[in-house]
A and B are shown apart, each in its own frame.
Chain A
């Protein structure tokens, strides 16, 4: 069965100067804004609730419900903050969205702000993507010049300013409360919740934090209607989403499809696993989601089905690895990432990721013992659910799932005193493997 792709956000990415206001407007852009400004804000919130749109940044929380959590207007400011700190390993959807069609996000920001009663919105972009920042700065300037931003937008009486803010390199700032601390000019460390940002967010004021793709989906919902959106997807996972295929696949890239599509279907569109090889393991939603194998090729990629199969839909970052890949090497590297990015606030995460890295590097280098494998699981048990945020939990996902699915590969490293795989065979270019690279990663 072939599932039809549904380019909505990505529809204009191939157009000439796709990032410009002119191109976006010619394709129908900013008509939804005018429609929205003629609606009651409460009706907009209800429409997004009815659409079933769920957060596209990983957690999958219903977007309209998040908006609805804001307390009643007390006359003070309330804020929209867009999380554009895309950094989860494997995740690469928001960057092309903002690079190729920044106005989809800006229009979503304006409509969302109008719906929730916000007069100053922020886009927090990771700092390591300077051309994306250029495009966003220009798009905001163009939107002001066209009267889509500023005072009394199109005669509606609604005022909105947008500030695009560049971060400075810290994965943890993708966690919404760390992002808020960072935006306030502090170290990006998560806050204890409650209070949630809806009650006390940016500058301790009511705040909605939404992912880029969630916000960019809003104009299309306003334009085409709730029924159009709910016609796509599955029972409780409505609409379309960007599926990012990377790794050992013939045509990696962004595939915008209804939620519930399967990896088998996506692979058919992407030309399959690279020629002469077969799928070994993959992440359904980035490195913080438990890994899957060939057994999950037909799992519908929606929130419920992926969850029921023991993982998470996350950011739909499908990192695909073929049979040449050493799972211990892959998991060790992810774990080093979490160690590096742990903000240090909570002891279980800070210390735990350090010890996990020590043990994994020992096993990968062939100096581990059978007891180390159990020690990994025990250490994971001391981390998961014991910190302010989910970074530590994410670190345990690939370890626990890989030990469960590929325990014999961990044991082989111990028994053989080294890695049984030829790393050169995994690379996308030819080279002959010369002495170990393991020590170079100091």
Chain B
């Protein structure tokens, strides 16, 4: 491993905290792979070795797991993972067109990263926000009801280094590495940040109020 001592010390401390959450050590592997991505920006050979040593597995066993899941990246990832949902519902509602225009605009295809290292594009499978179709995700934050123009604007802003707020979620989209640390189970203090629950989320509640329903009468 080529981690410097400071990095290795903090990785080891974090790994211990993750392992302590589970009755059986190996369960820590998925969060630890997220942790590796929070340091290296992808699942690096060093990271695989680190996980293997911590969990008393072979590097092959760790790799076998890492390659099964789409969120683990095998090459250095862009600072922002931009996914356009092209599963059926979003695709039909316009996701296919958004993908085509965005991909052409940015000049990279699926699972490719822009030369400036800012953006990795991805064709997403369903991200459980179908009532906001067409959907785009940036570092796993929700960008709802997209158009080709809105999607291109988001990516342009990200590449220009501007803060970008999702439709639902925190005040701004964090970097791939920062988000990976959250996915390893470490809070980042942003849970109370909010952009509103969203119109579709509240659609039924609004309709119920139209029927005379009140919260006190539930």
Interface residues of A (CB under 8 A from B): 2, 4-8, 10-15, 17-20, 27, 77, 86-92, 94-96, 99-100, 120, 126-131, 133-135, 137-138, 141, 163-171, 182-188, 203, 242-248, 251-257, 269-270, 287, 317, 319, 321, 325, 329-331, 333-334, 337, 340-341, 343, 423-424, 426-429, 431, 437, 440-442
Q: Which residues of A contact B145 (CB under 8 A)?
A: 428
Interface residues of B (CB under 8 A from A): 21-24, 26-31, 33-34, 55, 64-65, 68-72, 86-89, 91-94, 96-97, 99-100, 103, 109-110, 123, 125-134, 137, 139-142, 145, 147-148, 166, 168-170, 179, 182-185, 187-188, 190-192, 194, 197-205, 207-208, 211, 213, 215, 218
Q: Which residues of A contact B22 (CB under 8 A)?
A: 163
- Name, among A20, A89, A331, A423, the residue most crowded by chain B CB atoms within 10 Å (CB to CB): A89
Q: A11 and B147: CB pair below 8 A? A: no
| Interface contacts beyond A4-B211, A14-B197, A92-B131: sample of 10 additional A-B pairs, CB < 8 Å, sorted by A | A4-B213, A12-B215, A127-B71, A134-B191, A137-B185, A164-B185, A166-B34, A246-B89, A247-B93, A252-B131
A7-B218, A100-B201, A137-B191 given; A440·B103 CB < 8 A: yes
The distance in angstroms between the C-alpha atoms of A171 and B126, with both chains bound, is 9
Q: B129 and A92: CB pair below 8 A? A: yes
Q: Which residues of A contact B191 (CB under 8 A)?
A: 19, 131, 134-135, 137-138
Q: A90 and B201: CB pair below 8 A? A: no
Q: B70 and A253: CB pair below 8 A? A: no
Q: B96 and A18: CB pair below 8 A? A: no
| 19 pairs of residues in contact across A and B, judged by CB atoms under 8 Å | A10-B204, A13-B201, A19-B191, A95-B129, A96-B198, A130-B141, A130-B183, A134-B191, A168-B183, A185-B30, A188-B68, A246-B130, A252-B133, A254-B131, A255-B203, A333-B86, A333-B91, A442-B109, A442-B110
Query: How far does the Cβ of B20 sit from chain A's closest Cβ, in whole Å?
Result: 10
Q: Which residues of A contact B218 (CB under 8 A)?
A: 7-8, 11
A11-B218, A128-B137, A185-B30 given; A426·B92 CB < 8 A: yes
Q: A269 and B126: CB pair below 8 A? A: no
Q: Which residues of B contact A187 (CB under 8 A)?
A: 64-65, 68
Q: Which residues of B contact A133 (CB under 8 A)?
A: 182-183
Q: Which residues of B contact A317 (CB under 8 A)?
A: 130
Q: Which of B94, B187, B199 contacts A429 (CB 8 A)?
A: B94
The distance in angstroms between the C-alpha atoms of A165 and B185, with both chains bound, is 7
Q: Which residues of B contact A165 (CB under 8 A)?
A: 21, 27, 30-31, 185
A131-B142, A203-B24, A441-B86 given; A253·B200 CB < 8 A: yes
The distance in angstroms between the C-alpha atoms of A138 and B182, with both chains bound, is 12
The distance in angstroms between the C-alpha atoms of A96 and B127, with both chains bound, is 12
The distance in angstroms between the C-alpha atoms of A234 and B125, with both chains bound, is 34
Query: How far does the Cβ of A203 sit from chain B's closest Cβ, in whole Å?
Result: 5
Query: How far does the Cβ of B153 sit from chain A's closest Cβ, in whole Å?
Result: 14
Q: Which residues of B contact A329 (CB under 8 A)?
A: 91-92
The distance in angstroms between the C-alpha atoms of A83 and B208, with both chains bound, is 28
A13-B205, A163-B22, A186-B65 given; A128·B92 CB < 8 A: no
Q: Which residues of A contact B213 (CB under 8 A)?
A: 4-5, 7
Query: How far does the Cβ of A412 sit from chain B's closest Cβ, in whole Å?
Result: 18
Q: A255 and B207: CB pair below 8 A? A: yes
What 10 A-B pairs are tightest by C-beta distance, nearest first? A253-B203, A253-B200, A185-B29, A168-B69, A255-B204, A427-B94, A169-B70, A246-B130, A185-B26, A138-B191
Q: A254 and B201: CB pair below 8 A? A: yes
Query: How far does the Cβ of B204 sit from chain A's closest Cβ, in whole Å?
Result: 4
Q: Which residues of B contact A255 (CB under 8 A)?
A: 203-204, 207
Q: Which residues of A contact B65 (CB under 8 A)?
A: 185-187
Closest Cβ neighbor of B207 among chain A residues? A269
The distance in angstroms between the C-alpha atoms of A134 and B22, with both chains bound, is 19
Q: B88 and A333: CB pair below 8 A? A: yes
Q: Which residues of B contact A27 (CB under 8 A)?
A: 215
Q: B128 and A333: CB pair below 8 A? A: no
Q: A87 and B204: CB pair below 8 A? A: no
Q: Which residues of A contact B194 (CB under 8 A)?
A: 17
Q: B133 and A89: CB pair below 8 A? A: no
